């Protein structure tokens, strides 16, 4: 082991990484908690690994360490290249059809499986990983759970466990084995375009949820259900410190001290590891100027040795290419640092040749390759893949009724309901009487793609019309249903104009979908970028119509002018397929009873100013602190907020 770390160091020196500051990037594994591996090793599995390793050719071993994207690897390619896994990136789909039918996904899974088996040599089953980050969100008709930021507000780990289990089943339907979730980012600056992928700005909620989500996806370790047929592999990502980059820049530099890294960014991983998470994904980001994909001290010294992680460590999408001296097809430094699988979506062929040469030349010691392959085989054996039939023959495969099933949708609706946070409710405007005449307007009111955010059907979201979401309901449709049941009416008006004067207006507006770096912001001002929404709110308010604002967003944003223009203001985050959850909270039962009270409490501080990254415990005062959220039971008048 010492030899390996030395090699990595030499390599870093040779590639110029040492030109970066070294002093404060020193890692002291003894400061990190020591964890026992979960589950413990099974001698029978380790023996099978030994036997397999002894049989496998160098080519077969190297192939295990490469993951290609389905957009560039065909089933036929597997007849020749002994790759260990595939993924579909956010925009990759069978036949390049973004709205491919669920059956096409399963058919493709079978095609890869068959080709992989037909290749001569040692038969090692393939893994297929997918970004099932808020449900099986790439698949038409799947249940779309609220994005993690909303789940954080729900403060309900048991709910998270059930969401994990439902997601696992829906992933199984279309034939994948592995969810690239949960994201355990602790988001310290909401300018980050991935803020919504995180549960909270604070490690408490992330730690409380990480184990629940991992167990929901994988099953509980030590039970027969662990990695059983109803479960999939989970991924704790992105190790470590992805949510703490300077200025919230995606893939940027985290400058936290080692102690802060441990205090803020580690707790979620401890919980995930104790729950038996079998895969971890390295972060694109740097720590103290050094790319995580090349950081042997953190990936090997801390994660694998100190934290006892015995599963497989995967790189992010060409993440290795960002290590100094590396490119997409050439990066021994990443494997030397501890990466077991290169996510090499496009240049996997060239990488395969390079890696073969590097092991032959000794640039990558055989022992490191053995260790990587051992980990990959361990995960595959634990997951029962060697015994599993072709994907379509496995339990749950092809049971398309599970995608967006009534049970899963009810769970998603509960989750959405629990995630909404009531920021303001002056004059107890909410909940609305069921016989109200309601004007519904705003860009998010009748748009399921928009209420679902990024990582929905495609990488950036923003895809499909409401008809492309067969098991979903828009917020307007939900309001309409609830009001119709009570003798009221919801009228949708895209521009907010009306002929019959409404009793109240519900304006649904907010951020359009984005993912990763495309969502990075220079500051937190919503108002400055979306004057059209404020104008709409003002137009209604000036006509004396009470306004309920429902704000869709991937993070808290500076919205003081919008809050001041509205009588009630709801932070709805990205609720997903169940727009009806909004009506559950906003509209009374026909008999006047409150159907559901608000339970959501902020898991992110709400900014007082556009230039304010502010977190729980900071000296600076947010507009609404972490934990804030009104309820009908405990209302409160807000009046005009200062600072517009
Ligand atoms: C993201 C990961 C994701 C991977 C595969 C990367 O760009 O950072 O979170 O799992 O792509 O789509
Ligand atoms: C892929 C994503 C990936 C991203 C990385 C996109 O083309 O669809 O999955 O995370 O590239 O930049």
Tokens 């729900």 belong to which residue?
Answer: 154
3-class secondary structure per residue, 588-631: CCCCCCCCCCCCCCCCCCECCCCCCCCCCCCCCCCCECCCCCEC
pLDDT number for residue 20: 45
pLDDT number for residue 22: 43
Rounded-to-integer distance, Cα 618 and Cα 264, Å: 13
Rounded-to-integer distance, Cα 85 and Cα 46, Å: 21
- What's the 449 CA to ligand 2 centre distance in angstroms? 19
pLDDT number for residue 10: 40
> In this structure, which ligand is nearest to the CA of 250?
1
Determine if ligand 2 sits within 6 Å of the CB of residue 129.
no
The percent of residues in the chain predicted with pLDDT above 70, rounded, is 96
Determine if ligand 1 sits within 6 Å of the CB of residue 129.
no
pLDDT number for residue 576: 98
Beta bridge partners of 233: 178
- What's the 219 CA to ligand 2 centre distance in angstroms? 28
More reliable by pLDDT, 188 or 17: 188
Determine if ligand 2 sits within 6 Å of the CB of residue 89.
yes
Q: Give catalytic residues, as residue numbers.
A: 316, 516
Query: Cα dist. 504→426, 429, 436, 456 in Å?
Result: 13, 9, 8, 32
Rounded-to-integer distance, Cα 394 and Cα 377, Å: 20
For the cut 70, the answer to whether the pLDDT of residue 487 exceeds it is yes
Determine if ligand 1 sits within 6 Å of the CB of residue 253.
no
- What's the 89 CA to ligand 1 centre distance in angstroms? 7
Peptide bond into 112 cis (omega under 30): no
pLDDT number for residue 643: 85
More reliable by pLDDT, 5 or 431: 431
**Do the beta carbons of residue 555 and residue 396 sit within 8 Å?**
no
Q: How far is CA 149 from the centre of its chain?
A: 10
Backbone dihedral region for residue 308 (phi beyond 0: left; psi -120 to 50: alpha; all else: beta): left
Residue 580: CB partners within 8 Å, gap ≥ 6?
A: 413, 473, 477, 478, 481, 482
Determine if ligand 2 sits within 6 Å of the CB of residue 150.
no
* Number of the ligand 1 atom closest to the C-alpha atom of 237: 9
Count CB-CB contacts under 10 A for residue 637.
9
Determine if ligand 1 sits within 6 Å of the CB of residue 194.
no
Alpha carbons within 13 A on the beta-carbon side of 109 = 27
Q: How far is CA 559 from the centre of its chain?
A: 25
> What is the pLDDT confidence band of residue 551, given thresholds at 50, 70 and 90?
very high
Average pLDDT over residues 469-480: 98
Residue 280: CB partners within 8 Å, gap ≥ 6?
A: 235, 236, 237, 239, 269, 303, 309, 311, 312, 313, 314
Give nearest CA residue, ligand 1 atom 2: 316
E strands within 256-311?
279-282, 286-287, 290-291
pLDDT number for residue 11: 42
> What is the pLDDT confidence band of residue 316, given thresholds at 50, 70 and 90?
very high
Q: For the segment 204-219, what is each residue's pLDDT rounded down to a tens digit?
A: 999 999 999 999 999 9
E strands within 316-402?
342-343
Residue 485: CB partners within 8 Å, gap ≥ 6?
A: 434, 590
- What's the 123 CA to ligand 1 centre distance in angstroms? 28
Peptide bond into 402 cis (omega under 30): no
Q: For the segment 256-272, what is each residue's pLDDT rounded down to a tens digit?
A: 999 999 999 999 999 99
For the cut 60, the answer to whether the pLDDT of residue 17 exceeds it is no
Question: Ligand 2, residues 317, 321, 457, 519: which to mutate, most atoms within 8 A of Cβ?
Answer: 317
* Long-range contacts of the stretch 612-621 (C-beta < 8 A, 24+): 612/524, 612/558, 613/188, 613/189, 613/190, 613/191, 613/248, 613/524, 615/188, 615/201, 615/202, 616/201, 616/202
**Do the beta carbons of residue 403 and residue 141 sit within 8 Å?**
yes
Q: For the segment 22-67, what is each residue's pLDDT rounded down to a tens digit?
A: 448 999 999 999 999 999 999 999 999 999 999 999 999 999 999 9
- What's the 135 CA to ligand 2 centre distance in angstroms? 18
Count CB-CB contacts under 10 A for residue 30.
7
pLDDT number for residue 125: 98
**What values do phi and psi take at 586, rounded to 5?**
-85, -25
- Using DSSP's 3-state secondary structure scheme, residue 343 falls into strand
For the cut 90, the answer to whether the pLDDT of residue 5 exceeds it is no
Question: Ligand 2, residues 68, 91, 238, 250: which to mutate, most atoms within 8 A of Cβ?
Answer: 91
Nearest Cα to Cα of residue 404 among 93, 169, 230: 169
Determine if ligand 1 sits within 6 Å of the CB of residue 458.
no
- Using DSSP's 3-state secondary structure scheme, residue 396 falls into coil
The percent of residues in the chain predicted with pLDDT above 90, rounded, is 96
- What's the 615 CA to ligand 1 centre distance in angstroms? 26
> What is the pLDDT confidence band of residue 644, given thresholds at 50, 70 and 90?
confident
- Looking at every residue in the chain, the average pLDDT score rounds to 96
For the cut 90, the answer to whether the pLDDT of residue 323 exceeds it is yes
For the cut 80, the answer to whether the pLDDT of residue 14 exceeds it is no
> What is the pLDDT confidence band of residue 98, given thresholds at 50, 70 and 90?
confident
Q: How big is the CA angle at 284 (ends 280 and 290), to the nearest 5 degrees?
A: 110
Determine if ligand 2 sits within 6 Å of the CB of residue 604.
no
For the cut 70, the answer to whether the pLDDT of residue 407 exceeds it is yes
pLDDT number for residue 635: 86
> In this structure, which ligand is nearest to the CA of 183?
1
Give nearest CA residue, ligand 2 atom 12: 317
For the cut 70, the answer to whether the pLDDT of residue 4 exceeds it is no
* Number of the ligand 1 atom closest to the C-alpha atom of 197: 9
Among 16-25, 144-153, 360-369, 508-517, the range scoring the smallest mean pLDDT is: 16-25
Give nearest CA residue, ligand 1 atom 4: 317
- What's the 468 CA to ligand 2 centre distance in angstroms? 22
Q: For the segment 63-81, what is each residue's pLDDT rounded down to a tens digit?
A: 999 999 999 999 999 999 9
Q: Residue 257 class from Cβ within 10 Å (0-12 exposed, 13-18 middle, 19+ buried)?
A: exposed
Determine if ligand 2 sits within 6 Å of the CB of residue 461.
no
> In this structure, which ligand is nearest to the CA of 238?
1
pLDDT number for residue 562: 98
* Number of the ligand 2 atom closest to the C-alpha atom of 515: 10
pLDDT number for residue 201: 98
Peptide bond into 472 cis (omega under 30): no
Give nearest CA residue, ligand 1 atom 11: 317
Buried b (16+ CB within 10 A) or exposed e, 427-455: eebbbbbbebbbbbbbbbbbbbbbbbbbb
Count CB-CB contacts under 10 A for residue 18.
14
- What pTM value is reported for the model? 0.96
- What's the 515 CA to ligand 2 centre distance in angstroms? 9
* Number of the ligand 2 atom closest to the C-alpha atom of 89: 9
Count CB-CB contacts under 10 A for residue 223.
9
pLDDT number for residue 24: 84
Q: For the segment 123-136, what is each residue's pLDDT rounded down to a tens digit?
A: 999 999 999 999 99
Query: Cα dist. 21→11, 225, 289 in Å?
Result: 16, 47, 7
* Number of the ligand 2 atom closest to the C-alpha atom of 87: 9
């Amino acid at each position: 082991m010492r030899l390996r770390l030395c090699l990595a160091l030499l390599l870093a020196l040779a590639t110029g990484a040492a030109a970066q500051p070294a002093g404060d990037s020193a890692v002291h594994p003894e400061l990190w908690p020591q964890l026992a591996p979960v589950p413990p090793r099974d001698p029978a599995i380790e023996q099978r690994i030994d036997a397999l390793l002894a049989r496998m050719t160098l080519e077969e071993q190297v192939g295990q360490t490469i993951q290609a994207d389905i957009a560039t690897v065909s089933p036929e390619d597997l007849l020749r290249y002994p790759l260990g896994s595939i993924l579909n990136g956010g925009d990759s789909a069978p036949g390049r059809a973004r709205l491919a039918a669920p059956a096409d996904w399963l058919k493709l899974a079978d095609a890869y499986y068959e080709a992989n088996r037909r290749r001569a040599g040692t038969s090692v089953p393939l893994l297929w990983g997918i970004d099932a980050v808020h449900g099986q969100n790439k698949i038409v008709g799947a249940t779309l759970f609220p994005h993690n930021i909303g789940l954080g507000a729900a403060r309900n780990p048991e709910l998270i466990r059930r969401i994990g289990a439902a997601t696992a089943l829906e992933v199984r339907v279309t034939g994948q084995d592995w969810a690239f979730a949960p994201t355990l980012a602790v988001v310290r600056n909401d300018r980050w375009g991935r803020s919504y992928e995180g549960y909270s700005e604070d490690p408490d909620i992330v730690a409380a949820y990480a184990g629940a989500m991992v167990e929901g996806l994988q099953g509980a370790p030590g039970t027969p259900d662990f990695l059983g047929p109803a479960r999939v592999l989970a991924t704790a990502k992105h190790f470590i410190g992805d949510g703490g980059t300077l200025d919230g820049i995606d893939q940027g530099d985290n400058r936290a001290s080692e102690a802060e890294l441990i205090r803020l960014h580690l707790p979620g991983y401890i919980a995930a590891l104790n729950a038996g998470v079998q895969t971890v994904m390295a972060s694109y980001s740097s720590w103290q100027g050094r790319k995580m994909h090349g950081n042997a001290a953190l990936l090997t010294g801390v994660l694998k040795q100190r934290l006892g992680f015995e599963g497989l460590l995967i790189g992010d999408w060409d993440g290795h290419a960002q290590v100094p001296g590396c490119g997409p097809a050439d990066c021994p430094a990443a494997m030397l640092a501890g990466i077991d699988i290169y996510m090499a979506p496009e240049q996997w062929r060239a990488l395969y040749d390079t890696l073969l040469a590097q092991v032959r030349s000794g640039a990558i010691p055989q022992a490191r390759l053995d260790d990587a392959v051992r980990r990959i085989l361990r995960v595959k054996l634990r997951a029962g893949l060697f015994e599993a039939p072709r994907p379509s023959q496995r339990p749950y495969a092809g049971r398309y009724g599970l995608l967006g099933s009534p049970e899963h949708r009810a769970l998603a609706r509960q989750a959405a309901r629990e995630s909404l946070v009531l920021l303001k409710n002056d004059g107890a405007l909410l909940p609305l009487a069921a016989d109200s005449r309601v004007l519904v307007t705003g860009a998010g009111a009748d748009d399921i793609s928009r209420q679902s955010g990024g990582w929905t059907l495609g990488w950036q979201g923003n895809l499909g019309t409401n008809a492309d979401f067969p098991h979903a309901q828009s917020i307007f449709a939900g309001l309409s249903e609830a009001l119709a049941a009570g003798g009221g009416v919801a009228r949708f008006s895209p521009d907010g104009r009306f002929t019959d004067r409404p009793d109240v207006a519900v304006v649904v507006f907010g951020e359009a979908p984005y993912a990763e770096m495309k969502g990075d912001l220079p500051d937190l001002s919503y108002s400055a970028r979306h004057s059209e929404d404020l104008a709409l709110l003002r137009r209604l308010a000036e006509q004396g119509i009470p306004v309920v604002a429902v704000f869709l967003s991937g993070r808290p944003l500076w919205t003081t002018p919008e809050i001041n223009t509205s009588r009630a203001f709801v932070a709805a985050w990205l609720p997903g397929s169940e727009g009806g959850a909004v009506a559950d909270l906003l509209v009374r039962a026909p008999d006047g009873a409150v159907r559901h009270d608000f339970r959501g409490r902020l898991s992110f501080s709400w900014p007082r100013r556009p230039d304010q990254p502010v977190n729980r415990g900071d000296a600076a005062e947010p507009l609404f602190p972490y934990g804030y959220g009104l309820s009908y039971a405990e209302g409160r008048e807000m009046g005009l907020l200062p600072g517009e």
